[in-house]
Amino acid sequence: MKANTETVTKNHEVAALEQVTLTADLAGEEWRAVTVPGFELDYQVSSLGRIKSMARYTRGGKRRFLNTRILTGKIDRYGYRTVNLSAKGVRVFFLHRLVALAFIDNLRSLPQVNHKDGNKLNNCALNLEWVTHQQNIQHAVLTGLNKSQGANNKQFKGLIESTNTLTGARRIFCGKKALIESGFDHGAVYSVINGRTKTHKGFHFKRLPLNSLEVTQC
């Protein structure tokens, strides 16, 4: 019995050591709570572009304890790292956007986050900046991330224009990524465009023709 107890104790010590190694801070790393409402207590992002799930007991259903752990997430089809966060359901977030929200002031309420060095996986706070949609596109062209843009891209289907149903304010989007980063569900947007629904999040959407002047800016 004593031997079994010692074995169990050693196993716990090894597990604890592995956990410490996994979540140990890197040199110069600063952690802050995720700023998305509902996730602040359970997740933190770091100035070096990492994210961790905090130690806690699960809510609802069978109660169990979750250790602190670093989340690796996955890389989406566009080359950006995404993470699944749980709080009354699972939501998918761009890691670079979570880092920017926590560490970079956005006094002008700019809608998108740009990687300064063009590396979509370098999510350090110092490598990120808030930009307009147009600035993001221009930077992608300059860094070679978008070699075939706008009407020159064989997959380009035209711009999407949103109209706020309350204020009438209009905005133009170039591509699905721009819609997602602005908080829209691209599937719901296309449902509005195709006439299946009337609005999405208080906006009406329509495609602009391929000969529209704005296409040259995309």
**CATH number, position 70:** 3.90.75
Q: Quick one: pLDDT at residue 51?
A: 96
Q: Quick one: pLDDT at residue 144?
A: 55
Q: Which domain holds residue 22?
A: 2-104
- Per the structure, the count of domains in the chain is 2
- Do 77 and 7 share a structural domain? yes
Q: Quick one: pLDDT at residue 30?
A: 96
Q: Quick one: pLDDT at residue 179?
A: 85
- Do 74 and 154 share a structural domain? no
- Do 10 and 98 share a structural domain? yes
Q: Is residue 13 part of a domain?
A: yes
Q: Quick one: pLDDT at residue 154?
A: 40
Q: Quick one: pLDDT at residue 27?
A: 87
How much is the pTM? 0.58
Q: Quick one: pLDDT at residue 135?
A: 79
Rounded to whole angstroms, the Cα distance separating 3 from 151 reads: 72
Q: Is residue 115 part of a domain?
A: no
Last residue of a domain, one of 104, 135, 164: 104
Q: How far, in whole angstroms, is CA 87 from its chain's centroid?
A: 16
Q: Is residue 168 part of a domain?
A: yes
- Do 156 and 82 share a structural domain? no
Mean pLDDT by 10 residues, the chain (218 residues): 43 40 77 93 95 82 81 91 89 96 95 90 95 76 52 54 90 81 88 91 85 48
Q: Quick one: pLDDT at residue 137?
A: 73
C-alpha distances (whole Å) from 167 to each of 59, 89, 122, 132 are 40, 32, 38, 21
CATH of the domain at 208: 1.10.10
Q: Quick one: pLDDT at residue 177?
A: 77
Q: Is residue 39 part of a domain?
A: yes
Q: Quick one: pLDDT at residue 80?
A: 92
Q: Give ∠ CA 162-83-185 in degrees, rounded to 5.
A: 20
